[in-house]
Amino acid sequence: SYTALDDRSVGPFLADIAPIAERLGGRPGDWTVAEVGDGNLNLVFLVTGPSGGVAAKQALPYVRMVGESWPLPLSRAYYERLALADQAAHAPARVPALLHHDDAMALTVMALLKPHRTLRGALVEGERYPLLASHLAEFLADTLFFTSDLAVPVVDKKARIAAYLGNTAMCRITEDLIFDEPYFDAPMNRHTRGLEDIVAAFRTDVPLCLAAQRMKARFLAAPEALLHGDLHTGSVMVTADDTQVIDPEFAFYGPIGFDVGMVLANLWMAYLAQPGQRPAERPDPWLLDQSETLWKGFAKRFTGHGNALDPQAEHGALHALARGDADLRAAAMEDVLAGIWTDALGFAGCEMIRRILGLAHVADFESIADEALRADCERRALQIARRLLVDRAAFSGIAAVSHAIRLDRAP
Ligand code: SR1
Ligand code: MG
């Protein structure tokens, strides 16, 4: 049965799980425990013993950032460990090792990531990670391609879609918070003072609301691949030479462009927050370079997987293309990629708008103490996000987005 753990009970609980106790070494009295959950939903305990460490994540039966008035099913821990295992099958170097799970306790025990830190916090401090974009491109291309119809026999793919169908409460959060609530006066919305005019304008902006609705329809009805489902910079842990993707509790089968767009949006927001974080410095285009490297790396690796398909293997790609000549297959992959790009732009726009006008804000902007400066940064991000949603066709490639976002140009 379920009980929420705390700093004192987590050690004795883990001591009864032989492989975990062995990994930690010594006795529970020798272990240090820190609850470090800084996300919106769960408890996260880092437990370190004489021989090693683990990260134990436990779901609470409610949304942590709001409290018990917003219940949330513990089953999200089940879907998270299912997704961790599926991701590990395709991108083992990019996700933490799953060591133990207890579905009744909604508990997932993973290898301790050390000395990793959360990417969002590092970006707020102006840190750079040269391998970040190529690692994220690898994670995206490998997890998304190898769970899609391009790689999986159709019967197996339908079974995998079904395996995640119950994660409805988590999908509902996304449906409400990302696609709906930023466009009306939802009770938990908040925004920085000074943005009232653009908040009001967005709520009556028909092309914008229709574009957001179209993205919601894609999210609801396009089970293309197993998504992480919440791939923002708080779901990424980094060191100088490693990148790990954590927290796939929003996992389900959805449109590939959702994961791609969310990660791009969070890099773009980190860039756009710089004038507020460090007003005396020129904005550093490194984050724009990273977003370009990420998209190009993803595109190359994803299409490479398609071009390397075994003609004899069974999968859901169109028979004539999978077995056709190389040119035809390359054209087919370019076509798939064009659809992902268009989706990614729309989802990125939705993610940026909801992080500024909705419930769940991000430290990139929230860390800007000067309210007027924060409002300026957020306004610019909102204007760009609107263009990404309404005028997607104008962005023929990632360089066009960088050009629109660059802060050393006149708006
Ligand atoms: C109520 S949960 C708010 C947000 O936190 C999670 O990380 C997801 O991004 C969700 O939308
Ligand atoms: Mg999370």
CB of 360 closer than 6 angstroms to any ligand 1 atom: yes
Residues 167, 43 share a domain: no
ipTM over 0.95: yes
Mutate to test the pocket of ligand 1, among 79, 172, 173, 236 (most ligand atoms within 8 A of CB): 173
Does residue 311 belong to any structural domain of this protein?
yes
Kindly report the protein residue whose alpha carbon is nearest to atom 3 of ligand 1: 360
Peptide bond into 12 cis (omega under 30): no
- Which of 111, 143, 170 finishes a domain? 111
pLDDT at position 313, please? 84
How far is 210 from 345, CA to CA, in rounded Å? 15
Residues 211, 288 share a domain: yes
Does residue 17 belong to any structural domain of this protein?
no
Atom of ligand 1 nearest to the CA of 247: 7
Residues 105, 129 share a domain: no
Does residue 106 belong to any structural domain of this protein?
yes
CB of 342 closer than 6 angstroms to any ligand 1 atom: no
Residue 316 in this model has a pLDDT that exceeds 90: no
Kindly report the protein residue whose alpha carbon is nearest to atom 2 of ligand 1: 40
Proximal ligand: closest to the CA of 118:
2
Residues 319, 172 share a domain: yes
Does residue 188 belong to any structural domain of this protein?
yes
CA 277 to ligand 2 center in whole angstroms: 24
What distance separates the 2 farthest-apart alpha carbons in the chain? 65
Tens digit of pLDDT for each residue in 17-30? 999 999 999 999 99
Residues 132, 68 share a domain: no
Of 366, 68, 350, which is closest to residue 181 (Cα–Cα)?
A: 350
CATH of the domain at 85: 3.30.200.20
Residues 168, 85 share a domain: no
Task: Average the pLDDT over each of 137-151, 177-191, 199-213, 302-316 and give the range with the smallest value.
Answer: 302-316
Residues 398, 270 share a domain: yes
CA dihedral 352, 375, 118, 344 (to 10 degrees): 10
CB of 39 closer than 6 angstroms to any ligand 1 atom: yes
Domain of 319 in residue numbering reads as 118-405
CA 153 to ligand 1 center in whole angstroms: 33
Mutate to test the pocket of ligand 1, among 44, 177, 245, 364 (most ligand atoms within 8 A of CB): 177
- pLDDT (average), residues 77-94: 98
CB of 182 closer than 6 angstroms to any ligand 1 atom: no
- Which of 68, 88, 111 finishes a domain? 111
Atom of ligand 1 nearest to the CA of 173: 11
Does residue 5 belong to any structural domain of this protein?
no
Tens digit of pLDDT for each residue in 342-378? 999 999 999 999 999 999 999 999 999 999 999 999 9
Residues 364, 318 share a domain: yes
Domains contained in the chain, number: 2
Whether 56 and 44 have beta carbons less than 8 Å apart is answered as yes
CA 348 to ligand 2 center in whole angstroms: 17
Atom of ligand 1 nearest to the CA of 174: 11
- pLDDT (average), residues 80-92: 98
Does residue 399 belong to any structural domain of this protein?
yes
Residues 186, 308 share a domain: yes
Tens digit of pLDDT for each residue in 40-71? 999 999 999 999 999 999 999 999 999 999 99
Residues 241, 98 share a domain: no
Kindly report the protein residue whose alpha carbon is nearest to atom 9 of ligand 1: 230
pLDDT at position 411, please? 43
CB of 209 closer than 6 angstroms to any ligand 1 atom: no
CA dihedral 43, 48, 51, 54 (to 10 degrees): 20
Does residue 367 belong to any structural domain of this protein?
yes
CA 406 to each of CA 76, 261, 281, 286, 289: distance values in angstroms, whole numbers, following the listed order = 38, 18, 14, 11, 11
Atom of ligand 1 nearest to the CA of 72: 1
Residues 144, 288 share a domain: yes
pLDDT at position 396, please? 94
Whether 231 and 267 have beta carbons less than 8 Å apart is answered as no
Kindly report the protein residue whose alpha carbon is nearest to atom 8 of ligand 1: 230
CATH of the domain at 250: 3.90.1200.10
Does residue 410 belong to any structural domain of this protein?
no
Residues 375, 392 share a domain: yes
- Which of 60, 92, 111 finishes a domain? 111
Percent of the chain with pLDDT over 70: 99
